[in-house]
Amino acid sequence: MKKSKAAVVHQQGGPFVIEDIEVQDPGPGEVLVRIAASGACHSDWHQVMGEIPKVWPAVLGHEGAGVVEELGQGVTRVSPGDSVMLSWFPACGTCFYCQREQHNMCETYRPFLESGTAMDGKSRLYLKGEPLTQFSTHSTFAEYAVVPEQACIPLDPEVSMESASLVGCAVMTGVGAAMYTAQIKPGETVAVFGCGGIGLNILQGAALCGAEMIVAIDTVPGKFESARAFGATHTINAKEDTLQALLDLTEGRGVDHVLDATGNPKVQENAIYPLRRGGALTLVGVAPHDAKVTFDTFRMHHQETRVLGCFYGTGNCQRDFTRIIQLYKSGRLKLDELISRQSPLSEINEVYADMLAGKINRGVLTFGEIKPCTF
């Protein structure tokens, strides 16, 4: 068992409180990872605010990169000292969905996405002898995490932990939404609602796919410089007449694809109207768990409008994390530029305040050199 600093949320609404917790040794098939960097993702904030149900107290965090420190029985994929990226939704490779190349639907790991425990139904994290709820078996807002070995993806030591940590959610989800869910084709037109961490990655995913026109839409014009750097060819202030602006850009037809990164039900509900006939809306941002929308189904029928859900970029972490790093190293995909603020874990509340105010693209929490400490 190890001692670890962690950001603990004790109640809905927060705040994060830095506490000394205990991290249990890895069990069979598990790996103890010393966390070097963790992205501050909006999905964690959804949980803090109760938009995704959670039992408190909890340690959140799901975008992580670090170094393997200990192995549980039977682990063969990694070795102590390996640099790894962490996937918060790994895949077993053998279940019904994995056999059909739907690794992001893996039924082996799905029950533990929101269980708040490891795969044996027990937590690996304790505060003063009481179990803490985990995030998807991970909880990377701590110096140590115990994760399934399938969650560990080897990382080229030349790539910084800070940049690599974002591959675990923001990059995989955004780039995957464009490439795998929407399946954007060369020459197509794309509109992206929301220019946060996910939205910027959708933009660069659309650019990688060869989209001819990529329109970034947000209520904060200060985000448009970054949007253009990540591939946007046009920008629209969402406080203006977005529908008319998109129709003007497309000779009145509408765009081939709309991808929503906001998770705002009202945005999603209206996002079918800028689509051309036969166009597709892809829902990428996380909406509150009880959100409902009403679509104009008569219009959808006559225009063959498609609405697609996107979970984790429709990706395969074992395949796609490595591809993303290869694209990054070849200069075709941005990672470093996503990070607007890099701060120690002790500043986690300030990082989230900046994110919610639209001051940063993405914040990354870093951990100093950690000396092994056992009871």
Tell me, yes or no, whether 372 lies in a domain: no
Residues 102 and 212 placed together within one structural domain of the fold: no
Our count of domains for the chain comes to: 2
Nearest to 272 by CA among 285, 259, 290, 263: 259
Say what the pTM is: 0.94
Contact 348, 366 (CB under 8 A): no
Contact 91, 98 (CB under 8 A): yes
Residues 12 and 148 placed together within one structural domain of the fold: yes
Tell me, yes or no, whether 320 lies in a domain: no
DSSP for 225-258 reads HHHHHTT-SEEEETTS-HHHHHHHHTTTS-EEEE
Residues 184 and 300 placed together within one structural domain of the fold: yes
Residues 242 and 150 placed together within one structural domain of the fold: no
Domain of 233 in residue numbering reads as 173-311
The domain spanning residue 352 has which CATH number? 3.90.180.10
Residues 143 and 266 placed together within one structural domain of the fold: no
Residues 292 and 359 placed together within one structural domain of the fold: no
Over its length of 375 residues, how does the chain's per-residue pLDDT go in tens digits? 899 999 999 999 999 999 999 999 999 999 999 999 999 999 999 999 988 878 899 999 999 999 999 999 999 999 999 999 999 999 999 999 999 999 999 999 998 888 899 999 999 999 999 999 999 888 999 999 999 999 999 999 999 999 999 999 999 999 999 999 999 999 999 999 999 999 999 999 999 999 999 999 999 999 999 999 999 999 999 999 999 999 999 999 999 999 999 999 999 999 999 999 999 999 999 998 899 999 999 999 999 999 999 999 999 999 999 999 999 999 999 999 999 999 999 999 999 999 999 899 999 999 975 333 332
The domain spanning residue 293 has which CATH number? 3.40.50.720
